[in-house]
Structure 1
Amino acid sequence: MPKTPVFREEPVSFVRRSGRMSEAQDRAFGDLAPQYLLNVPRGLASTSVHADARLNPAAEYGRDAPLFVEIGSGQGHAIISAATSRPGDDFLAIEVFRAGLARTMLDADKAGVRNLRLIEANAPEVLASYLPEGAAAEVWIFFPDPWHKTRHTKRRLVRAGFGDTAARALEDGGLLRLATDWEDYALQMREVLDAEPNFERAFDGEWAERFEGRIMTAFERKGIAKGRDIRDLVYRRKSRA
């Protein structure tokens, strides 16, 4: 059996900062977390996943349906929109910032969304072990932290080795969708994933067309307002056979 990756031996793609949440956000964790937030067994840190922990999607969602996973869901705007418009699919949001998780739960509850679950955890650990192999129809990574300073680029989520982790979680033919407003990160993403043997491009030309299933958020508008081009990529998981 291959050795289980120990992701705390690598730099994570985030830095957790303590911050005060509003009273409504605090209440969300008490009132709504049982419905939306998965109780993940921990490993070495508060955002880690125990190596033996496993998710049973059919038991958690109460059905068998295609599962769509968003990494770094922020305040949940994109995934709530998708879950609302596609009740026949199941959605999983992975985020480490509690205020974002709280806002997502509040907005999901207000919209009556029931096909959404949240995980407060380091995303590579979720993909590498917590999700069953081949469980995800798609994995979305929209506007991850670019860590634009040279000394910090080692923290970027999409770097050498990430493709293998994402490929494990995706079903054969499943899609890995990415978007960023930082050109050098887009180039790095493309270089990394072009070199991954488990993926092939699912787009023609230099960049993919904008994903129609991604709503325009304030974050994306901000990047456009600053004159940065939005670049999309989409890769297909090759057959395991």
Structure 2
Amino acid sequence: MASAALHAIANPSIRDYVSDAEWQARVDLAAAYRLCDRYGMSDMIYTHISARVPDEPNAFLINSHGLLFDEMTASSLLKVDMDGNVLTKPLENHGLHPAGFVIHSALYIARPDIGAAMHTHTTAGLAIASLKCGLLPLTQMAHRFIDHVAYHDFSGPERDPGEREKLAADLGDKKVAILRNHGLLSVGPTVAEAFNYMYGLERACQAQAAAMACNTELNILPDDVVEKSTAMYAPGAIRRYGLLEWEGLLRKLDRLDPSYRD
């Protein structure tokens, strides 16, 4: 539990200084960072997951830039407003990542329904984001997203607040996006759902990249089969993904290292 010892020294708990609603959002978000790392979706310190503060809709929580994902705790997360003002004292030498602010503030400003957002730079996500064909309906996992994925063209790292409107417009009302030549994005009403969307999209990208790398003919499904399968994943056609799984994922983290709750 070396990481827990680090947090105890460098990151005192702010539990008594925030509302119950904010604290719960912090715990869930810290858990998402730990899970992102455990499932191989982190990129050292260079991607980000966020959550809107439930009782402060014009503010959101995001990582202190410089902490690894497996070091994240509920107390280490920054609270930021939509103008980029950091509302909590950051850890020394750990501030707000400019691209993280631009991407996540764009989503929260444009979509009041978004409660959490996740952005990754995984190998599989980058591979599919670099293919002109994008995500293909090769697998059942891909069928969950194929009719509900947005695309956003790359114009350089998203550090200019002026790019927020374009990103939000390209996402539209979708839950996931492929950022061309850049990575993957997911949003949801809750941290649990945003994480689940990303987990599924990542697996679909991994499968496609692996299949296309085999240098043999792909088994392309008939259009009517794809249409039938994707319809089963239409919004409202099935339970909300992520909610049922989330408590189990938290139990997993609690067994491994509960310091995310600090």
Higher relative contact order (CA 8 A, sep 6+): 2
TM-score normalised by length of structure 2 = 0.27
TM-score normalised by length of structure 1 = 0.29
Compare CA radii of gyration and give the structure with the larger one: 2
